[in-house]
Amino acid sequence: MSVYFITGIDTDIGKTYATGLAARFFRQRGASVITQKITQTGTAGAIADDILLHRRLMGIEPLPEDLDGTTCPYLFRFPASPHLSSELENAQIDPKYITDCTARLLEKFDIVLLEGAGGINVPICRDYLISDYVQEHRYPTIVATSGRLGSINHTLLTLEAAASRNIPVVGLVFNHYPLPDPVIRDDTLGIFRHKIAGALVEMPEIDLGSIPNIDFTPIFGA
Give the catalytic positions in this structure: 37
* CA gap 59, 20 in Å, rounded: 9
CB-CB neighbours of 149 under 10 Å:
11
Instruction: Answer for the pair 111, 27: CB distance below 8 angstroms, yes or no.
Output: no
Cα 147 to Cα 53, 80, 203: the distances in Å are: 23, 25, 11
Sequence-distant (6+) residues with CB within 8 A of 176 are 146, 147, 185, 202, 203, 204, 205
Distance CA 181, CA 6 (A): 25
**Nearest-5° angle of CA 79, CA 81, CA 83?**
120
Residue 192 contacts residue 172 (beta carbons within 8 Å): yes
Q: Round to whole Å and give the CA distance between 170 and 95.
A: 23
